[in-house]
C-alpha cells in the first residue's frame, strides 16, 4: 500500500491570537504580496520575507509623469483661453504639446503594466 501524501489541509493548524487591528494589518500585508494570509504567515514563520507585488519605484515614476501631464494640460488651457502669455505660440506648438501628451500617456501605460510585478519575479 502506498503512503498517503501529507497535505496542509490534513495537518494541524497553529492558532495565533491577534487584535482586530493586527489582523487587518496582517491581511493587508498578505494582500500586498498577492498571497493568502495563511501563505504569508507560513513564509514569515519559516524565515522568508515575502516580497510586495507592487513596484514602488514605478509608482513614484508614475507620479512624476502625472505631474508632467498636468503641466502640459495647464499650457494648453492657457493657449485656449487666449492668455497674453501664450500669444506667441501658434497651432504648430499646440500640436507638438498634444503629441508630447500622447507620448507621455504611452509611457505611463508601459509603466502601469510594470507596477504590479508578475508572479515569476517573486
- Give the per-residue pLDDT at 67: 85
Provide the pLDDT confidence category of residue 1 given band limits of 50, 70 and 90: low
Q: Give the residue with greater pLDDT, 89 vs 17.
A: 17
pLDDT digit string, tens, across residues 21-38: 999 999 988 888 888 899
Span 96-120, average pLDDT: 76
Alpha-carbon gap, residue 107 to 78, rounded angstroms: 25
Alpha-carbon gap, residue 42 to 23, rounded angstroms: 15
Q: What is the pTM of this model?
A: 0.46
Provide the pLDDT confidence category of residue 2 given band limits of 50, 70 and 90: low
Amino acid at each position: 500500500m502506498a503512503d498517503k501524501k501529507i497535505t496542509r489541509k490534513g495537518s494541524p493548524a497553529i492558532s495565533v491570537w491577534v487584535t482586530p487591528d493586527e489582523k487587518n494589518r496582517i491581511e493587508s500585508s498578505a494582500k500586498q504580496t498577492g498571497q493568502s494570509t495563511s501563505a504569508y504567515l507560513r513564509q514569515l514563520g519559516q524565515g522568508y520575507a515575502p516580497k510586495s507585488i507592487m513596484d514602488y519605484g514605478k509608482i513614484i515614476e508614475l507620479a512624476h509623469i502625472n505631474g508632467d501631464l498636468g503641466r502640459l494640460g495647464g499650457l494648453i488651457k492657457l493657449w485656449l483661453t487666449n492668455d497674453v502669455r501664450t500669444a506667441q505660440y501658434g497651432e504648430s506648438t499646440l500640436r507638438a504639446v498634444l503629441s508630447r501628451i500622447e507620448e507621455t500617456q504611452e509611457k505611463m501605460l508601459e509603466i502601469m503594466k510594470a507596477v504590479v510585478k508578475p508572479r515569476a519575479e517573486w
